[in-house]
Chains A and B, each alone.
Chain A
Amino acid sequence: MITYAARTAAGVGLGALTTLAELPYVLLGTPLLAVPTPRRAVLRGARVLAEVERARLQRFLDAPNGDDYDGRRALQYLALRALVGLLALGVWACVGAGVLVAVFYARQLVTGRAPGGQGAGTVAGWLLITLLAAIAAYLCAQGIAGVATLDRRLARRFLGPSHRDLLVRRVSHLATSRAQVVEAVNEERRRIERDLHDGVQQRLVALGLLLGRARRTDDPDLVRQAHEQSQEALRELRDVAWRVYPIALDESGLDAALESLAERAALPVELRYEPAEPLPPALATVVYFVASESVTNATKHAGATRVTIEVRRADNGRNVVVEIADDGHGGARIGGTGGFAGLVRRVAAADGEFTVNSPDGGPTVVRAVLPCD
């Protein structure tokens, strides 16, 4: 509380000082806009000053704003901001005056004289003075707080994104992520189609081929091979079906599905699953696919020997974090095709954040933070 008040007061004080630069700048710079040559320099300078203000507001008044504005808007801001600065100057002048008066009265009190007179001071007189001092101090504090609020609002109005901008941004984000979801689904379908053709169908054709040869040659060994091949084809089919949609997700929940994923993986997978409450089904699906895709990547491309999957709630249960770490040689990138691109889209569609931290030489940590409300 104390530090907050001190920071606010300091911030407003600094603001009072910056206005000494801003006011002349605005007064001299604005007429120069009519002249083409220095126009750009004026606008650039305005941006620099506005950036100084932005830093001050962020540092002292806890008001972060975007830097998404141009020089013209910066100049408009500075014109109004200079007025607020003058107000800050006024408030600080009052504070200064108050301090001087307080010092004067303290001397009177110490020397035992009446507050403002030559005679001896009375208790009633001093009580009245104390009361007035308290009111004055309160007004000064209110003044500082008021100027700080004005400062924040002005900056938000000119430098920060407006409410409408935020809505526009949100809508365009939603449109993008919707398109990406469709794309991600199509990509998955393509992959399923490829899995069926390049895996299951090839095996079945090869099986038919073996049986065809067996019939032509009557070689019992070919029949044995064909039998093995049919087992392989079945295994492959099961795997593909599982990759399409792990039915365990619906039947026994995310932790069971992840356990099953860990069992099926080609390398040792350690699972740490914390959430006691079951997650919403849509969210569980995203978490599952993030985990399964990352494990696949670790197995196929990273040359990892072990993987850990961790699922936990964070930020007082507002978010779910899924983290997959492997000890492979790293170098995984989100860009391009491959599994990560699909995951980025899936996670974005759930309003989550997806990061891959994978320096060359490893280790790789894939992390998705998903809001759950």
Chain B
Amino acid sequence: MRLILAEDSTLLREGLLRLLAEEGHDVVAAVGDGEALLAAAEVHRPDVVVTDVRMPPTHTDEGVRAAVRIRENWPEIGVLVLSQYVEKRYAAKLIGGDGGRVGYLLKDRVAQVGEFLDALERVAEGGAAFDPEVVRRLVARTSHEDALGKLSPRERGVLEKMAQGHTNAGIAELLYISQSAVEKHVNAIFDKLDLPQAAGYSRRVLAVLRYLGS
């Protein structure tokens, strides 16, 4: 796929470039700040942009702001944000659209090369990818609430995987259960959480996440 990479640390930028090239992706531009990212996105219209959150000049949330702008201007471009921390505000900002084509990973996740590439694929295909850590935080934070308390441990596990953006097939594989079992759990979760069933799995992830993060 065609990618733009925004990361101010040269060391990491080089490493990611190499990795993505080895995987056969085409990195059309590699930049070091939010402004340059927007400019490059406008010119190249890549499939996905991968961006760091903290970049010059202020080292606060340039990456997220650029990502939100890209989501607004060119919805067909997928966005994968790499953050130093779990920042709920940022995650919420990204989810704020119609959902899909977004990812929010902890930066350290890049070192789990397989997971990182997997997340990238999911975003490129129109799905979502949220860091397990983000999901865990959100789930943990709301676990005392009644609705979630109703879920069985198995359902909770499925919800977690779901929230990370995995498809039913993917969840089945990860939890070593059949796909129909997963579907059953998912329906049970929707029932218990009072959520109308949506068509696309990305939207269902976002619905769940929204609920958890509300």
Q: Flag if B111 contacts A211 (CB, 8 Å).
A: yes
Q: Separation in Å of the B134 CB from the closest CB of chain A?
A: 17
Within 1-16 of B, Cβ neighbours of A (below 8 Å) are at: 8-9, 11-12, 15-16
Are A198 and B12 closer than 8 Å at their CB atoms?
Answer: no
Q: Taking the complex as formed, is A213 at the interface, i.e. its CB lies under 8 A from any CB of chain B?
A: yes
Which residues of the partner chain B approach A213 to less than 8 Å between Cβ atoms?
A: 15, 18-19, 22, 113
Binary contact track A192-218/B, C-beta < 8 Å → 1, others 0: 001001100111111111111101110
Q: Which residue of B lies closest to A222 (CB)?
A: B18
* A197-B54, A197-B84, A213-B18 known; A205 vs B113 contact (CB < 8 Å): no
Residues of A within 8 A of B18 (CB): 213
Tell me the bound Cα distance from A350 to B182 in angstroms.
Answer: 66
Q: Chain A 214-247, CB within 8 Å of chain B: the 1/0 string?
A: 0111000000000000000000000000000000
User: B108, A208: Cβ atoms under 8 Å?
Assistant: yes
For the complex, count residues of B whose C-beta is within 8 A of A. 19
User: Is B22 touching A209 in the complex (CB atoms < 8 A)?
Assistant: no
Q: Which residues from B are CB-within-8-Å of A216?
A: 22, 113-114
Measured between C-beta atoms, what is the minimum distance from A360 to chain B in Å?
25
Complex Cα distance A205/B108, Å?
6
Interface string of B107-132 (1 = CB under 8 A from A): 11011111000000000000000000
Write the A47-59 contact mask toward B (1 if CB under 8 angstroms, else 0).
Answer: 0000000000000
* A212:B19 contact, CB within 8 angstroms: yes
Listed in ascending order, the chain A residues whose CB lies under 8 Å from chain B are 194, 197-198, 201-213, 215-217
Q: Give 5 closest A-B pairs by Cβ, nearest first.
A: A208-B111, A212-B113, A202-B9, A209-B15, A206-B15
B interface with A by C-beta (< 8 Å):
8-9, 11-12, 15-16, 18-19, 22, 54, 59, 84, 107-108, 110-114
Q: Can you identify 28 A-B contacts, CB atoms within 8 angstroms?
A: A194-B59, A198-B54, A201-B84, A201-B108, A202-B9, A202-B11, A203-B11, A204-B108, A205-B107, A206-B9, A206-B11, A206-B12, A206-B15, A208-B108, A208-B111, A209-B15, A209-B16, A209-B19, A209-B110, A209-B113, A210-B15, A211-B111, A212-B19, A212-B111, A213-B19, A213-B22, A213-B113, A217-B22
Besides A202-B12, A206-B15, A207-B111, 10 new A-B residue pairs in contact (Cβ under 8 A), listed by A number: A197-B54, A201-B107, A203-B11, A209-B19, A209-B113, A212-B112, A213-B18, A213-B113, A215-B113, A216-B22
